[in-house]
Amino acid sequence: MPEEWIDAPALKAVAGSLAARFGEAILETTFEKKELAVRVRAEDVLPVLGHLKSELGFNALDDMIGLDRFPPPGDERKRFAVLYQLYKFPEALRVRVAVDVGEGEAIPSIVGLYRSADWAEREIFDMFGLRFLGHPDLRRIYLPDEFAGHPLRKDFPLEG
């Protein structure tokens, strides 16, 4: 559903296009501090990002951000979230796609779409323990392989 209160016409068009194309899959669209953020179902992340890339021209992945909402806020929202910060050259548009992931769940890898997601997904795996299906080489990136635990989880002990 295109939101009337988006005051940037280009981002409004993006939100509209996503809503028209995916409808139900878009769980939430927010526009705060001039930033467009959409929340989608985990199984729809590949089609949504593919649409954003090929149809709407978001040709670069700025960053991937892992979030831990510990303790889990409720039934509807799961514990973890992965945010994809996308970017469009040269119009300077940004959109943030959020995906909720539960404990022990896996989400599809987007390395095929955005090559730069390779290390970013490894970092999230390292720090949060989220698995990405189809990632070519999902190993820890910062910490040694034998390290136990995932430090950016909120329940990771701060003192040994």
Interacting residue ranges for other proteins, rule: CB under 8 A: 32-33, 35, 37, 59-63, 65-68, 83, 85, 89-90, 92, 94, 96, 114-116, 118-119, 127, 140-144, 151-152, 156, 158
Q: How far is the CB of 136 from other proteins (least distance, A)?
A: 12
CB of 35 to other proteins, least distance (A): 6
Phi-psi group of 101: left, alpha or beta (phi > 0 → left; psi -120 to 50 → alpha; rest → beta) = beta
Residue closer to other proteins by CB (options 24, 139) is 139
Sign of CA dihedral 104, 108, 112, 117: negative
Residue with tokens 């390292």: 126
Q: How many residues does the chain have?
A: 160
By beta-carbon proximity to other proteins, the closer residue of 21 and 62 is: 62
Instruction: Specify which residues 101 forms β-bridges with.
Output: 80
